[in-house]
Homo-oligomer: A and B are copies of this chain.
Amino acid sequence: MIPIHVESAWKGTSDCRSCGIRDLVLFADLNEEDFGLIHAPIDDMAFPSGGLIYSEGEKALGVFTLRQGMVKLVRSTSDGRERIIRVLRAGDVVGIEAMATGHFDSEAVALNNVMVCRIPLDVMHSLSTHSPRLHNRLMQKWHQALKGADDWLADLNFGTARRRLCKFILKMRFDEQPDQSSMFSREDMGAMMGLKLETVSREVSSLVREKAIEPLDKMGRLYRIKNEKLLIEA
């Protein structure tokens, strides 16, 4: 977990008009007039796995659109242990709470190689008041975040360890290759589901033994789903 200075993450200035995933993101339906309202540069940034995007309570320069990779939101509980609130994926807005308060409510850490665009707060504010297009999009992003939080709680924090892991695997499937799913360090996975790393390891091994999943690498990060039914019904 090596903190990365913002400067070293900077990759250049984005051209949003030609963004590869524009249909997913905040700027999806901006028109030329809207783009004209952007008077500050939108920074293109990259973080390696484990890189710190921002920390809890930090003053925000902007919000981030996640273009590639996955990001975990972490809160330190009163007793010092770390709890992973939820995981964001491509198209999600990282740090959306800064729109309301100017600060970040949790810590954001890259789970793998991550690429984000940082949109300055004042750009967001002026766009959200002057462009109904962005205003609507933003509302959808708030909704997406809230629903994501509720789903995370309902899916990954109820029932047996086995059931939680199955839900987790289904949730972490790749959109493009639904037969593959990604995992993380057993400790992180434990912090996501409220389990200990040994329990996570045991349940993963158990699913492999029962041929519900099959490892695709030697680091235990990528698995193929062999028996979807077993996972859904568990």
Contacts and interface: CB of A to CB of B under 8 A. Distances in A.
B157 A106 contact: no
A157 B143 CA distance: 22
Contacts of A106: 150
Given A85-B154, A150-B85, A153-B85, A142 B75 contact: no
Contact of A150 (B139, B140, B149, B154): B149
A135 B149 CA distance: 23
Contacts of A139: 99-100, 128, 142
B154 A97 contact: no
A35 interface: no
A146 interface: yes
Contacts of A128: 135, 139
Interface in A90-124: 96-97, 99-101, 105-106
Interface in A152-174: 152-154, 157-159
A140 B99 CA distance: 9
A96 B149 CA distance: 14
A77 interface: yes
Contacts of A132: 129
A11 interface: no
Contacts of A159: 77, 79
Interface string A192-210: 0010000000000000000
A127 interface: no
A152 B79 CA distance: 16
Contacts of A101: 143
Contacts of A142: 100, 139, 142, 146
Contacts of A154: 75, 77, 83, 85
Nearest to A99: B139
Interface in A48-76: 73, 75
Interface of A: 73, 75, 77, 79, 81, 83, 85-86, 96-97, 99-101, 105-106, 128-129, 132, 135, 139-140, 142-143, 145-147, 149-150, 152-154, 157-159, 194
